[in-house]
Amino acid sequence: MHETIQAIILGLLTGGVYALMASGQTLIFGVLKVVNLAQGALVILAAYLSSSLFASFGIDPFLTVPIVAPAMFLLGVAVQWCLLRPLHRSDASQLSLLVTFAVALGIEGLLALVYKSDYRTMQPSYANDSWTVAGYQIGEVRLAACLLSLATLGALALLLNRTRFGRAVRATVQNPTAARLLGVESTRVAALGFGLGAATAAAAGAVYGMVYSFNPNSHYDLISRLLSIVILGGLGSLGGTVVAALAMGVLSALVGALVSPVWSDFSFFVVLLAVLLVRPRGLFGARLRGAL
């Protein structure tokens, strides 16, 4: 029983880390209807930037977020403006897959050139610390990641629901043509939306870099998980992303601890396929997408 409860705790905390990473992916799909295959690479890029600031200047990884986030935002805006905006509208969804994958490969190549392929991890003094509560271990960084994830998602929700920019985003999501007729500059909204999605990678990268070892190739494993989470949650649904990430974390941890780690990822995909058979839009895709 102890093993099971510990696995659930670890799974929930791991799910929180993934929710943070997947939130940008969801936002970008919600705004642009673009499946951003570069999101994993953006997280790894942010992890490297955060790691460099930590190693060179001793800046705590969490404090690197406000430094890295604007850079990631500008990168996201540039990618959208220079590479995605020119795509022909009728083919944009399909071609954006190729464009974002190319961006991911470009980032990977650049990172390999600059940082080499050795694995690295950020190790502030508290990186592997945990609190013992009733005999169970709660990782400090993972718990912080959960809280950061909630804060990020909350901020995004506020931005989308309480600001003029948010209304423009939601109008663009619901009906781009009508939004344009009402004076919304949809291309600008799209660029800012992509930039915001990329900026969330700053927080995700800082956490990822402390919890896991990473190298330039790490984005391949990461993007497959992020896509699975946003598809299970419902493409474009922030709330669905959180639920799916927590489900993935708990299921993987339970199967890994009680059955075998060989089956932990597979079990999640079985659940994903089962849900999609019953609900092709994912858990919350239909209900919440419009509310993004």
Q: Is 211 in the site for another protein (CB under 8 A)?
A: yes
What contacts 279, CB < 8 A, 6 or more positions away?
285
Binding segment (CB under 8 A) for another protein, from list 93-101, 166-174, 179-187, 255-263 = 255-263
Q: Is 221 in the site for another protein (CB under 8 A)?
A: yes
Q: For residue 165, which phi and psi values (nearest 5 degrees)?
A: -60, -45
| Closer residue to another protein in complex, CB, 1/277 | 1
Q: What is the rounded (10 degree) CA torsion for 12, 151, 244, 191? A: -150
CB of 129 to another protein, least distance (A): 8
Angle at 126 between CA 123 and CA 129, to 5 degrees: 115
Binding-residue pattern over the window 34 to 53 for another protein, x denoting contact by CB under 8 A: --------------------
What contacts 34, CB < 8 A, 6 or more positions away?
28, 84, 92, 93, 96, 100, 194
| Closer residue to another protein in complex, CB, 130/187 | 130
CB of 68 to another protein, least distance (A): 20
Q: Is 117 in the site for another protein (CB under 8 A)?
A: yes
CA distances from 218 to 126, 127, 224, 278 (A): 23, 20, 11, 32
Q: Is 3 in the site for another protein (CB under 8 A)?
A: yes
Q: Which residues between 4 and 23 bind another protein (CB under 8 A)?
A: 6-7, 10, 14
Q: For residue 6, which phi and psi values (nearest 5 degrees)?
A: -60, -40
Q: Is 209 in the site for another protein (CB under 8 A)?
A: no
CB of 60 to another protein, least distance (A): 15
Task: Report the largest interatomic distance among the alpha carbons of the chain, rounded to a whole angstrom.
Answer: 60
Q: Which of 177, 188, 203, 292 is nearest to 240 (CA)?
A: 292
Q: Is 269 in the site for another protein (CB under 8 A)?
A: no
Binding segment (CB under 8 A) for another protein, from list 28-36, 128-136, 176-184, 272-280 = 128-136
CB of 218 to another protein, least distance (A): 5
CA distances from 200 to 1, 23, 27, 203 (A): 37, 7, 10, 6
Catalog residues that contact another protein under the rule CB under 8 A.
2-3, 6-7, 10, 14, 112, 116-121, 123, 127-130, 132, 137, 139, 211-221, 252-258, 260-262, 264-265
